[in-house]
A and B are shown apart, each in its own frame.
Chain A
Amino acid sequence: MAGPKASTAASKPASSAVDPNAIHSLWKAYNDTTPSRLKLIDSFLVFLMLSGIAQFLYCILITNFPFNAFLAGFGSCVGQFVLTASLRTQVNPENRGEFKDVSPERAFADFALGSIVLHFFVFNFLG
């Protein structure tokens, strides 16, 4: 699960080595074009990603003994991440055309419901 994510994270420095301007322009473009609400989402995403990576490293390097706990913790990060990412695409004004049936309010309700279900299973699985 974290494999592809880790490798995409690795692809960034690789590209920056080739073209330092590109990463700069990417950052600039991101800052300019992204609404503040999406930035809120993105910061949450970064937090989840870091939390997930930390747990994955702990699992690999130290112990995976309560494997269900690891799966629950890691799964909650990944699940929350994708749900949040879904929310992000749904509320992104650029994608309006794709989501005709989903208004931003509806999107948040979906997101909240999905998250609550997810956390229910996470805590059931944790112990």
Chain B
Amino acid sequence: MLAYSLPSDISPSTFVNTASLVRIVALGLISAAAISSRLFAVVNFESIIHEFDPWFNYRATRVLASKGFYEFWNWFDPTAWYPLGRVVGGTIYPGLMATSGVIYNILHALNLPVDIRNICVLLAPGFSAFTAWATYMFTKEMKDESAGLLAAAFIGIVPGYISRSVAGSYDNEAIAIFLLMFTFYAWIKALKTGSALFGTIAALFYFYMVAAWGGYAFITNMIPLHAFVLLLMGRYTNRLYVAYCSWYAIGTLSSMQVPFVGFQPVRTSEHMAALGIFGLLQIVAFAQLIRSHVTSKQFQDLLFVSVISAAVLGMAAMVLLTYKGWIAPWTGRFYSLWDTGYAKKYIPIIASVSEHQPTAWPSFFMDLHMLTFLFPFGVLVLFRTLRDEHVFVIIYAVMGTYFAGVMVRLMLTLTPCVCVASAVGLSQLIDTFMDPREPDVGEEEEKEDGSSTTATPSKKAAKKEKNAAPVTGVGAIDDIVSTLSIAGGLEKDKSAKAKTGIFGLDTRMVVLFNTAAMLLFFVLHCTWVTSNAYSSPSVVLASSNPDGSQHIIDDFREAYYWLRMNTKEDAVVMSWWDYGYQIAGMADRVTLVDNNTWNNTHIATVGKAMSSPEEVAYPILRKHDVDYVLVIFGGLIGYSGDDINKFLWMVRIAQGVWPDEIQEPNYFTQQGEYRVDDQASKAMKDSLMYKMSYYRFAELFGGGQVVDRVRQQYLPKQGPTLDYLDEAFTSENWIVRIFQVKKEDLLGRDLKSANGFAQGKKRKRSKPPVKRRVLA
């Protein structure tokens, strides 16, 4: 009994060929959509490296491209973390740079002289296409091709992933998500077939992932967790043994080749779960082997007991080793995942990063849109069949959701899982409602002709959709999905009569139309979010004029260019660590601290200099040979990400190292408010950061009310004075201010009195030092 007629004169081979052709075309369109939606950044702004970390990656890649891999491997960067320097080769994940380097060399071997910057800018969009493909493969293993195509389309345009992979966002995540998905795919494949080949492939991609992103620990723990859950569910198979062992043995050994990882896989607690499961699997496999040869019940019991005790002994040994210090305990970053207040208390440097903050709920909707509620449905669908690989996605969903709730940044790892689960759910929905069969209850009063005529418009509508939104590819998928489900209906159980199902065409139309509409809204949302929220390079800011036209605020590059052109080549620039990579990348000057926050003490030193009065800060600056101090000040145009708003973190980090000298409460008013106006506390007003930010700010207002537009506070008309620093440069909108550190006074005076003298202030008469007392 069919709700609508199907063409019956198509041969199966034609059908299969057409289906695969449509799949390929759809994947191609999805890739095109994924790439082109990430080009908003280039279209709206220009081909430029974004944000902070990418600047370092870009700089490193340039070194790699110009000097070769071995020089890069041994690169010691004396201009970062002055004067400590940074052993770059041993403290980075080189996968990203190596990838660009390889692409660069291949292109040049083909006589295509592409600039390395363009490769870096376009790497992330390019890899997003691969990610879509890997997600397709992965989801195909979960359900079928149609779900795979849906998942690929989702991951291609979902904002949660675009946020980290727009053109110019040249960061580790750009390639890591592809590697993550492909490793998972290979793992699932290995588990399903029990093939060591796929285990090896998983291990190789795991190695690539380790070389590319610190988030590899997610894989390191996800796969063992999956294996462990399967064990607990009594689903141990030899396939599991083969897949896990081949992955772990090769993957672990290869991961230790990356210098930054080193011996961590056998030394730190983060990796112990994988090792433990590896050992457990050996025991279980051994027990299985023995059991297959022995029948004695008593012996089997004994074996069981000894296996359990061995597992317990292994655990105890691990705890002992941790206690003895042989295995490093969990790191602070790990704790901060479980106790969200932990980082703020003990490691302010981690908590100070905005992307380490807990996620606010609107950002879930912003990043995932309708997938937010499709996702639980998809997980539910997975529970219905619950094969081994479904368990994996369910675990992934649980872990991913938790982590995404803890840290904004980890939204990225959740996104692929959401796409997969949603695609499975949605494809299930469409399958059900596309299925032309009707439940076998009573008589059907379907008008055959009527159904065929209505089916054609629906297809036409789908085609129209395809034409309307060819970039997104979602329309195309609808089309394919319908084709496939018809095929499924035709092939599978033409004979079998369904007990449950959908009556009538109208119900189907209502649901399908709604689904299509939702997909359309999803596409619109994704496009809107991508172009408006996630394509800003943050190096260049955009604001709109009153007439609606766009106004580009280019203070950062202006200031960095000033530094590059007007200062000595080995001049040392001190700034808060956020701007370290940019100064190194754009101004090519020596920095004290940068975004690779490996040395807390050094950062705290900068924090202390910024939060201390001038005369305390000056010796610190001199000791570190600082020539210029750079601050970001948004008070004039209302740029809220400025240093005064980050100031409390500087204070906190400095307090962590010098609790006697810097105390956070001193920077608040009596009422406990954070103020910069005339009620600001003395410590606040004396601090170098405050003085630098508001130095001569009041003059701008010509005696009128002095307003800080970020904090909406009125400043005193008499601004702060600087004795130990000279203003060297202030950018157009005052966002970047650069101050030059004065030399020591010629006459050995402190600079404050020297400054007083230069301004003609009378010095108090002094008395000769007391050498002996007068006998009265």
Please indicate whether A and B come from the same complex rather than being unrelated chains. yes
Which A residues are within 8 Å of any B CB, using their own CB? 1, 3-5, 7-8, 11, 14-15, 18-19, 22, 25-26, 29-30, 33, 67-68, 71-72, 75-76, 78-79, 82-83, 85-87, 89-90, 94-95, 98-99, 101-102, 106-107, 109-111, 113-114, 117-118, 121-122, 124-125
A22 touches B314 (CB 8 A): no
| Min C-beta distance of A110 to chain B, whole Å | 4
Would you list which residues of chain B between 284 and 339 have a CB under 8 Å from chain A? 285-286, 290, 292-294, 296, 298-299, 302-303, 306-307, 309-311, 313-314, 317
What separation, in Å, do the CA atoms of A75 and B298 have in the docked complex?
A: 36
- Greatest chain A CB density within 10 A among B253, B310, B317 is at B253
A72 touches B253 (CB 8 A): yes
Contact flag A98-B246 (CB < 8 Å), given A7-B314, A29-B294, A75-B252: no
* Cβ contacts A to B, 7 pairs, < 8 Å: A3-B313, A7-B313, A30-B293, A82-B248, A86-B241, A109-B197, A121-B253
Q: In chain A, what residue has the closest Cβ to B285?
A: A85
- Tell me, yes or no, whether B356 is within 8 Å of chain A by CB: no
Task: Indicate which residue in B193, B292, B293, B298 contacts A102 across the interface (CB closer than 8 Å).
Answer: B193
B250 touches A19 (CB 8 A): no
B194 touches A83 (CB 8 A): no
Q: How does the 8 Å CB contact mask read for B209-243 relative to A, with 1 for contact and 0 for none?
A: 00000000000000000000000000001110110
Contact flag A4-B196 (CB < 8 Å), given A82-B245, A86-B246, A121-B257: no
- Tell me, yes or no, whether B504 is within 8 Å of chain A by CB: no
Would you list which residues of chain B between 248 and 304 have a CB under 8 Å from chain A? 248-250, 252-254, 256-257, 263, 266, 275, 278-280, 282-283, 285-286, 290, 292-294, 296, 298-299, 302-303
Task: Indicate which residue in B239, B263, B290 contacts A71 across the interface (CB closer than 8 Å).
Answer: B263
| Min C-beta distance of B591 to chain A, whole Å | 33
For residue A118, which residues in chain B have a CB less than 8 angstroms away from its CB? 249-250, 253
Contact flag A25-B250 (CB < 8 Å), given A15-B302, A85-B241: no
Contact flag A114-B200 (CB < 8 Å), given A4-B280, A89-B241, A101-B194: yes
| Min C-beta distance of B234 to chain A, whole Å | 15
- Tell me, yes or no, whether B613 is within 8 Å of chain A by CB: no
- A-B residue pairs, 5 tightest by C-beta: A79-B249, A4-B279, A82-B245, A110-B196, A11-B306
Contact flag A125-B253 (CB < 8 Å), given A22-B294, A89-B238: yes
- Tell me, yes or no, whether B94 is within 8 Å of chain A by CB: no
For residue A121, which residues in chain B have a CB less than 8 angstroms away from its CB? 250, 253-254, 257
| Min C-beta distance of A16 to chain B, whole Å | 11
Task: Indicate which residue in A3, A75, A89, A113 contacts B242 across the interface (CB closer than 8 Å).
Answer: A89
Task: Indicate which residue in A19, A75, A86, A98 contacts B245 across the interface (CB closer than 8 Å).
Answer: A86
For residue B303, which residues in chain A have a CB less than 8 angstroms away from its CB? 11, 15
The number of inter-chain residue pairs (CB within 8 angstroms) is 153
Contact flag A8-B292 (CB < 8 Å), given A110-B196, A110-B197: no
- Tell me, yes or no, whether B195 is within 8 Å of chain A by CB: yes
Contact flag A8-B253 (CB < 8 Å), given A22-B294, A26-B294, A117-B203: no
B250 touches A114 (CB 8 A): yes
- Tell me, yes or no, whether B159 is within 8 Å of chain A by CB: no
A8 touches B249 (CB 8 A): no
B282 touches A95 (CB 8 A): no
What separation, in Å, do the CA atoms of A98 and B285 have in the docked complex?
A: 14
What separation, in Å, do the CA atoms of A72 and B252 have in the docked complex?
A: 11
- Greatest chain A CB density within 10 A among B193, B200, B249, B280 is at B249
For residue B309, which residues in chain A have a CB less than 8 angstroms away from its CB? 7
B197 touches A75 (CB 8 A): no
B294 touches A114 (CB 8 A): no
| Min C-beta distance of A96 to chain B, whole Å | 11
What separation, in Å, do the CA atoms of A29 and B286 have in the docked complex?
A: 15
| Min C-beta distance of B281 to chain A, whole Å | 9
For residue A87, which residues in chain B have a CB less than 8 angstroms away from its CB? 196
Contact flag A117-B204 (CB < 8 Å), given A18-B302, A71-B256, A71-B263: yes
Q: In chain A, what residue has the closest Cβ to B298?
A: A19
- Tell me, yes or no, whether B199 is within 8 Å of chain A by CB: yes
| Min C-beta distance of B241 to chain A, whole Å | 6
Q: How does the 8 Å CB contact mask read for B121-144 relative to A, with 1 for contact and 0 for none?
A: 000000000000000000000000
For residue A8, which residues in chain B have a CB less than 8 angstroms away from its CB? 282-283, 286, 306-307, 310
For residue A125, which residues in chain B have a CB less than 8 angstroms away from its CB? 253, 256-257
Task: Indicate which residue in B194, B249, B275, B313 contacts A90 across the interface (CB closer than 8 Å).
Answer: B194
